[in-house]
Amino acid sequence: MTEQVKVTQQKKSDQMNVVPKAERVHTGVKDAKALAEALSRAVADTYRLIFKTHAYHWNVEGPLFYSVHNMTDAQYNEMFPAADELAERIRSLGQLAPHSFAEVMKMSVIKDLDTLPTTQEMIEDLAKDHEAVASGFHDLFKLAEENRDPVTSDLATRRAAFHEQAAWMLRATVK
């Protein structure tokens, strides 16, 4: 093996040994760490709600099957790219996004039911969860405004609007 090949291989190895770390970003945002923590909770809530919505989507039965199956499909498909956008906002603030499912489970307000619910219970449970997540985004909006972060404020507003609409549609289904 030539010396140049060895040096090239070492450079590649060094490039792969980078451990992500938080860094200071100078954009005028006051408390990026607090914002990143709140955004991390939003990522956790979004991921937990994606899974719960998907699980209900797979298991729903009964006369409302088609409408609930399609509604939950639309909801989890909308939330998946939103989770990415939230995590990328954390990184834009120079902080680290959640990196383990255990961390996501611990941070999230979304909880699982003990047994597989009826279709009505699924819908009511999802509506309750969407309301809780929307409330979290309201809190994030307030924190972002207090810390001069209009980008996160805008993101929180858009996400709260989605979750409020999802809760309304779910509640309207079981009336």
pLDDT at 43: 98
User: 31-173 is classed in which CATH architecture?
Assistant: Up-down Bundle (1.20)
Q: Are 44 and 107 a contacting pair, CB within 8 Å?
A: yes
Tens digit of each residue's pLDDT (9 = 90 or more) over 50-96: 999 999 999 999 999 999 999 999 999 999 999 999 999 999 999 99
| Measured distance CA(44)–CA(109) in Å, rounded | 8
Note the pLDDT of residue 19. Answer: 72
Where are the chain's structural domains?
A: 31-173
pLDDT at 11 over 70: no
Cβ burial 21-53 (10 Å sphere, 16+ → b, else e): eeeeeeeebebbebbbebbbbbbbbbbbbbbbb
Q: Check pLDDT > 90 for residue 99.
A: yes
| pLDDT tens, position by position, 54-67 | 999 999 999 999 99
What does each C-alpha distance from 22 to 54, 61, 154 come to in angstroms?
Answer: 32, 46, 23
Q: What is the pLDDT of residues 142-152, one digit of tens each?
A: 999 999 999 99
